[in-house]
Amino acid sequence: MKLGIIAIQGDVREHGAKFQALGVELVIVRRPRDLEGVAGLVIPGGESTTIGMLMQEYGLVDAVRERAAAGGLPIWGTCAGLILMAAEVIGPSPARLGLVDMTADRNAWGRQVSSFEVPLQVPVLGDRPFPAVFIRAPRIRRIGLGVTALASVDGQVVMAEAGPYLVSAFHPELTEDKRMHEYFITKVKNCSAMLS
């Protein structure tokens, strides 16, 4: 199984190391042709304005949307990736995929001095709290009916899924814990099994 990662800028290396440790090949996606043969896609943290603008410019917004519309491309967006996947964005709004019915509020936890770590209860990952790192993170202000909340901080949803899509406002790639990466791999496998 081969996964792709949007590699415009941001924490591409960390996701790569995580998937490699789990025995999954992660290929760099900078052009539409790089999407060929990938069973799932990761959109990493970074600056959503920059990533959205350059994805648009190099034809990746349309290419990913087409693959998604054709059905069965699981996508996981972390932080900036979450913003790019949201249908609605509050504040300066970058070019984006708009695949998940939710409203994202950019940098709504505050500036960098308010960035934080917290042990997070994520029931789908088991009882042990997940070490969640929030960096100038977005808030999910609203989720649609088809979207399931998977974890919250102070009553605000910070992780959710909708069909083949997974979003997290924090950065699992910055910690040692591999459970979220395993969770996404399982999601991709289930999705591939359903299609075949």
191 is catalytic: no
Would you count residue 159 as binding another protein (CB under 8 A)?
Answer: no
Binding test (CB under 8 A) with another protein, winner from 3, 79, 102, 143: 79
56 or 192, CB closer to another protein? 56
Would you count residue 30 as binding another protein (CB under 8 A)?
Answer: yes
Binding test (CB under 8 A) with another protein, winner from 10, 16, 81, 172: 10
What is the chain's percent helix, strand, coil content, to nearest 5? Answer: 35, 30, 35
Taking the C-alpha atoms of residue 53 and residue 189, their distance in angstroms, rounded to an integer, is 31
Q: In Å, what is the CA distance from 65 to each residue of 14, 140, 153?
A: 25, 21, 30
Ramachandran angles phi, psi of 149, nearest 5°: -75, 135
Binding test (CB under 8 A) with another protein, winner from 4, 16, 40, 45: 45
57 contacts: CB under 8 Å, gap ≥ 6: none
Residues 105-124 that bind another protein (CB under 8 A): 106-107, 110-119
Q: Binding residues for another protein, how many (CB under 8 A)?
A: 42
The answer to whether the beta carbons of residues 97 and 90 sit under 8 Å apart is: no
DSSP 8-state symbol, 164 = T
Catalogue the active-site residues: 79, 171, 173
Which stretches of the chain bind another protein, using CB under 8 A? Answer: 7-14, 30, 45-47, 49-50, 53-54, 79-80, 91-92, 106-107, 110-119, 129, 133-136, 153-154, 171, 174-175
